[in-house]
Structure 1
Amino acid sequence: MRIGVDYYPEQWNRELWKIDADLMAKTGVRYVRMGEFAWSKLEPRDGEFCFEWLDEAISIFARNNIGVIMCTPTSCPPLWMYETYPDIARVGTDGNKVQTGIRAHRCLNAPMFLYYAKRITEILAKRYANSRAIVAWQIDNEIEAYPCTCEICRGLFRDWLIDKHDTLENINAAFGNSVWSGEYSDISQIQPPTAYPMAWQNPALCLEYSRFSSDMAVKFINDMAMIIKCVNQNARVTTNVWFSQNTPDFYKLFDLLDFVSYDNYPPVLIPEEEGEVYSHAFQLDLMRGVKQSNFWVMEQLSGPTGSWSPMSPTPRPGQIKGYALQAMAHGADTVMHFRWRTANTGAEMYWHGILDHSNTMGRRFKEFADLCRTAAKLNVIETTQIVSEIAILYSPDNDWAFSIQPQTEGYDYIEQLKLLHASFTRYGANVDIISPTADLSRYKAVIAPAMYIYEKEATENIYRYVIKGGTVVMTNRSGVKDQNNNCIMEPLPTVYRELIGAEITEYDPIGTLEQTIEDFSGSQFTCTAWCDILEPTTARAYAEYKDTFYEGSAAVTMNRYCSGVAYYIGTLCDYKFYDSFAANIMKQTGIPRLMELPRGVEVTTRTNGADDYIFFFNNTEQEVHITLPKAMYSIIDGGDREKLCLKPFDMDIVRK
């Protein structure tokens, strides 16, 4: 397992490069990432290239057997480019150019930006793509589905719509443009969403623009990757992502890339409220599920963060090591810490790295060094994978659509997925988070929350899975919209009505109000935000409402369909319900459960087919003790263990 750091030689005096490389090698650093913000150093003036400094930096690290992840610098065009070609600047939803001076303000479709981006990428590729020192390539940095509204993007959006819908009449029909006299009589009238709140605008238009913007980001990344691959087809190429304001479609983004990379910044403060989900296990499982393969963390928490907001608290003892190992437990084979040195200049000078401004090897450095020593012991798990019996379906379309039209106060798509994920992992289960169109046949249980936007392939996939004997769990706001983000004029949940064996006679968006449901065993739970009032046809009530005018109506149902079973959760509940529900689902489907885990302890298993390696991570601020079912060998400390004593944010890995 490989530990690395992000490094910026262009920001430091040359004398430090060798000092840093020597210390990294001594500490156990395997990789460095560099170059993503260095365009002005690589091309200080149009057509004037300077690579000698980068050659020197790479050679220093190579002499220390430290591999280099080379980044293309296209996130930060030099100021001379903005000055010479002002049209490369992105245009906001208000129609005004985004002010330049910080990063990522270029339009991905601007012709002159693309010319220069392709040129610098090709020159870098020809210079370094066959270098033995380069272990991988990163395209751009934290790419987003930028909603640019410049004239180029407007024209491309119109072309994209015509390619998809064929005619203006079809676009009018798909958008429902008879509302508010919005029908287009000429293609020139098609405009991107404006600066008005999304909920005020045509939801079909808004969703299509999110799809278009994502497609443009995907095209840009693929075009740059192809340039590198043309020089060296064996080059390993990726891009790094995070959950951003304009999150692209991860499935499309990484489809043609070699592996997924994620920027991971888990919280350092543990919330006092017991049921609040704070673990980044969900994000890590989602990243692994994008290509259903192990992935990299390209940026990992190293210290207090502070740039876009005031500084956060510093990582607590154990978190730097523990959170890196947590990422590995969920499928990360390489973890790169951001950054080696805390910047002395610029807006990110308070986004702390391993070494502080003081240039001393403090507490965080010592913990990082301990992490490197531990990672060196984990070669035995490098060839392992995570095999899951449970899958959760994540849909970019649903994510975008809920952002366009928020349903009610307290209703959040991602939070609903996190709650369900947390409840199944609570019992030590591996969980994959995958596309609704992925192969579901190997899973004993599939969780399909809020399947809001109808997608024919996904719907057929879910039906096929249940018909063949699978167990599916669906939730409120499923089957609401068609593919164009317009409401379907049928009883909810429309296309899933037969599958769940119930109809929704009415719904109540209760927001922050709280109500009570009671399940079949007599246990009562709090629900909030949303209440579907269900009338079973072939289903049975799993839980019923206990108050307000729909007291006694079904809130949760269970339906046997062909050879399988479909559950439907019509409301949003507190964590206690989801924990109880997950335990029942796992019992019914024969998925093993660890029933005595202390809350906050995460258990994940990686396997090579012959041996299983179980990761026990204490993601709490209290010491915990765990009794193992039998003596197991500790990969980290050596020797057999019958009991584990884990300090806060500590991890042990045992061979089953």
Structure 2
Amino acid sequence: MNNFSKIQMGVDYYPEHWDPSLWEQDAIQMKEVGVKIVRVGEFAWSRFEPEEGQFNFEWLDRAIHLFHRQGIQIVIGTPTHTPPRWLTEKCPDILPIQANGHTYHAGVRGHRCFNSVSLHSYGSRIIEKLTLHYKDHPAIIGWQTDNEFSLVYCHCESCNEQFRVWLQAKYGTLEQLNQEWGTVVWSGEYNDWSQVTTPFGGSPHQNPSYQLDFYRFQSACVEQYQQTQIEIIRRNCPEHFITHNFHSYPQKLDLYPLGEQLDVAAFDYYPNTSPDKTSTGPYSGALSLDVTRGIKRRNFWIMEQLSGPPGGWGPMWRTPYPGFIRAYIWQTIARGADTVVQFRWRSATMGAEQFWHGLIDHSNVPGRRFEEFSQVCTEVNTLSRLLEGSIVRNDVAILHSHDQLVALDIQPQVEGLDYYENIKQWHRALTKLGIGTDVINWTENLSGYKLIIAPSLYLMDSTVATSLEAFAAAGGTLIITHRSGVKNLNNVCLMEPFPGMLSHCAGVQVSEYDPIANSLHHIITADEQTYSSTQWCDILHPTTAEVVASYHDDFYAGKAAITVNSFGKGKVYYLGTHPEENYMKSLLHQLAVAHDIPHFPDLPEGVQISVRMRDSQAFFFLLNLSRESRSIVLDHPYKSVLYDGLTHEGTLTLEPYGVDICTIELY
């Protein structure tokens, strides 16, 4: 089951959308440009089963046969994202019910309740038929579950029943639930399980413990829904791999338990083409790719990537600038993607996504973007054997937590404080220093890292606290930030000084705090450098920690703002405020030097360096993700594997959206 580890290019293709006379010439043209993978089927339930119990796979057999003749391999998507109209008419329980009681009707896609008995029954049947039909086909290598999971927020009777079952399994008794949620507030205590429902609306200020558990329940429903599909696929197609195309970070879906069930994670990547996003877009995209790699802590796939201006769901974006498509394909590979599948081969002529452009426009005449894609296919296929088996291996990790994100969204702490945006800013600072960074679930094992950044551990868990202490004691450096140790995992405030369970290793306590929002404050470091800060000011009382920076403003001027504590063989930093990017870069550069972490401190804006490793060989991906030429000062000679062994020394200039891939033997 290693088909998913090859370095290769692919496209999404919808044979059901096109006259069959086009299929063969498309397959031949794909082979000519170097396409190795095609994804099909994820929206085709009405063609697979046009009427109840009448199955038709002949049309897809014909299409797959044509691809197979060209040596192209196939991934099939299970079609459960789009139940057909005959099914939703017969089984209306499939359609989600919104909080106001209205039905989420069929029309575009995603019209299914994850707890619908009918969906499980009919969905399992179509997947059973598909997998049995294609289990021995030599072109089929893998399956994608459903499409772009997200929370549906269904409030049907089945969801209400399952929510109670889930809560009973977690809390045991209604008395325990009342206690853990603190329902005594506002006379919210439950007297009978029948009173416990999904959030139907009314006041937006619901019990935060209740809300957090509802989101957790919703994620658990998606997990069980996917597991049902996976069990069928594994039973019938044991040699095929299974993936899912995650999308749209951040979202309230818990990615990590879903990822555990998969062989490889995948992401749908649509980098922003707008010129006014060029200063932030490449960095946000880099974070999304690192989050995807962190789902399973290994290489991943891109199952959809931008091929032209998106549109249809809203006004169209700008067309990709020359070099944009190529540069962003290499960015995904640089950060651990082994296969990149472009959405889509040809722009749709019908339906809601007519203007979500593919590689070929409505004219059906290949143009500039298609030629750029062809160039990348040639490059990827040329370097595939060299890069195969290479991985991303980093010394630095940012901890990411679904629970923190959801809890801080339920009760926003202050204007301007956004959990994921703060992660994004730390990650951007690291990326601008050329420091490779993993983004991993906050409960993961931390061994092997030198530096861990743990933003806003708002909900605190004793197991995680012990893990963080052990990491620092063993010689690692830990950075924790404001709004840590505020609550327990049930979203109830703790009666102890912040940062709670982390106070001991941080050597500091919060004596008071000031939610300053977007008010600009300043901190002064020990070496008398001044930096601005926003969002929050924890006024710190060091117990064993040393003061790194003090506040310059307000009634707490001169009080500690940032501290560092020696703990075992390591150090723990506590940041009581959210400093500007220049401070983050200064601190991270200092720590990179101290820990001998590879970095490139003078990268120009928009330039990224990522490294993939194989044995003792390092592949440096040098990317200019901007519309202007950029120059990089090289610390020693690099040999290009993209440009026939050309050796770069001194300064390397990259054209707009320019790319190079260099190699160096580490030992």
Q: 1:289 aligns with which of 276, 291, 294?
A: 294
Q: 2:48 aligns with which of 24, 42, 61?
A: 42
Question: What residue is the counterpart of 2:559 in the other structure?
Answer: 553
Question: What residue is the counterpart of 2:663 in the other structure?
Answer: 655
How far is the alpha carbon of 1:150 from its aligned partner? 0.7
Question: What residue is the counterpart of 1:361 in the other structure?
Answer: 366
How far is the alpha carbon of 1:145 from its aligned partner? 2.6
How far is the alpha carbon of 1:579 from its aligned partner? 1.1
Q: 1:130 aligns with which of 136, 140, 144?
A: 136
Q: 1:509 aligns with which of 504, 515, 529?
A: 515
Q: 1:214 aligns with which of 219, 235, 241?
A: 219
Contact in 2 for aligned 1:271/1:278 (Cα 8 Å):
no
Unpaired stretches in structure 1, ≥5 consecutive residues:
none
1:83 aligns with 2:93: no
Question: What residue is the counterpart of 1:102 in the other structure?
Answer: 108
Contact in 2 for aligned 1:394/1:434 (Cα 8 Å):
yes
- Measure the CA separation in 1 of the matches of 2:321 and 2:202: 42
Question: What residue is the counterpart of 1:27 in the other structure?
Answer: 33
- 1:166-201 deviation digits (Å, cap 9, x = unpaired): 100000011100011000000000011233575x11
Question: What residue is the counterpart of 1:450 in the other structure?
Answer: 456
- Measure the CA separation in 2 of the matches of 1:273 and 1:345: 31
SS of residue in 2 equivalent to 1:266: coil
Q: 2:437 aligns with which of 431, 434, 438?
A: 431
- Measure the CA separation in 2 of the matches of 1:273 and 1:266: 10
1:600 aligns with 2:606: yes
- 1:194-239 deviation digits (Å, cap 9, x = unpaired): 33575x1111011101111101101111110110110122210011
- 1:560-619 deviation digits (Å, cap 9, x = unpaired): 112211001111122111111211221222213322221221111111112111111111
Question: Equivalent residues in 2 for 1:182-221 (5 A)?
Answer: 182-196=188-202, 198=204, 200-221=205-226
Give the aligned residue type for 1:454.
M
1:342 aligns with 2:350: no
Q: 2:169 aligns with which of 163, 178, 185?
A: 163
- Measure the CA separation in 2 of the matches of 1:260 and 1:273: 27
Q: How many residues are treated as equivalent by the alignment?
A: 655
Question: What residue is the counterpart of 1:237 in the other structure?
Answer: 242
Question: Equivalent residues in 2 for 1:216-295 (5 A)?
Answer: 216-243=221-248, 246-271=251-276, 278-295=283-300
CA, structure 1 residues 486+345, in 2 after alignment: closer, same or farther (shift >3 Å)? same
Q: 1:644 aligns with which of 641, 644, 652?
A: 652
CA, structure 1 residues 272+327, in 2 after alignment: closer, same or farther (shift >3 Å)? closer
- Measure the CA separation in 2 of the matches of 1:290 and 1:592: 24
Contact in 2 for aligned 1:529/1:572 (Cα 8 Å):
yes
Give the aligned residue type for 2:256.
Y
- 1:605-637 deviation digits (Å, cap 9, x = unpaired): 111112111111111221112232333221111
How far is the alpha carbon of 1:270 from its aligned partner? 4.3
CA, structure 1 residues 304+521, in 2 after alignment: closer, same or farther (shift >3 Å)? same
How far is the alpha carbon of 1:400 from its aligned partner? 1.0
CA, structure 1 residues 221+272, in 2 after alignment: closer, same or farther (shift >3 Å)? closer
Question: What residue is the counterpart of 2:73 in the other structure?
Answer: 67
Give the aligned residue type for 1:650.
G
Give the aligned residue type for 1:647.
E
CA, structure 1 residues 514+196, in 2 after alignment: closer, same or farther (shift >3 Å)? farther
SS of residue in 1 equivalent to 2:425: helix
1:492 aligns with 2:489: no
Give the aligned residue type for 1:81.
L
- Measure the CA separation in 2 of the matches of 1:551 and 1:197: 40
Give the aligned residue type for 1:323.
Y
SS of residue in 2 equivalent to 1:377: helix
- Measure the CA separation in 2 of the matches of 1:593 and 1:83: 59
Question: What residue is the counterpart of 1:474 in the other structure?
Answer: 480
Give the aligned residue type for 1:561.
F
Question: What residue is the counterpart of 2:615 in the other structure?
Answer: 609
Give the aligned residue type for 1:91.
I
Q: TM-score if structure 1 supplies the norm length? A: 0.98
Q: 1:300 aligns with which of 290, 302, 305?
A: 305
Question: What residue is the counterpart of 1:413 in the other structure?
Answer: 419
Give the aligned residue type for 2:355.
Y
Give the aligned residue type for 2:342.
H
- Measure the CA separation in 2 of the matches of 1:358 and 1:5: 19
CA, structure 1 residues 436+272, in 2 after alignment: closer, same or farther (shift >3 Å)? closer
SS of residue in 2 equivalent to 1:152: helix
Q: Over aligned residue pairs, what C-alpha RMSD do you find?
A: 1.5
1:422 aligns with 2:428: yes
- Measure the CA separation in 1 of the matches of 2:462 and 2:172: 20
- Measure the CA separation in 1 of the matches of 2:46 and 2:639: 52
Contact in 2 for aligned 1:146/1:214 (Cα 8 Å):
no
Give the aligned residue type for 1:260.
A
SS of residue in 1 equivalent to 2:322: coil
CA, structure 1 residues 273+524, in 2 after alignment: closer, same or farther (shift >3 Å)? farther
Q: 1:329 aligns with which of 320, 334, 350?
A: 334
SS of residue in 1 equivalent to 2:240: coil
How far is the alpha carbon of 1:325 from its aligned partner? 0.5
Q: 2:376 aligns with which of 365, 371, 377?
A: 371
SS of residue in 2 equivalent to 1:252: helix
How far is the alpha carbon of 1:469 from its aligned partner? 1.6
Question: Equivalent residues in 2 for 1:524-543 (5 A)?
Answer: 524-543=530-549
How far is the alpha carbon of 1:278 from its aligned partner? 4.2
Give the aligned residue type for 2:54.
E
Give the aligned residue type for 1:649.
Y
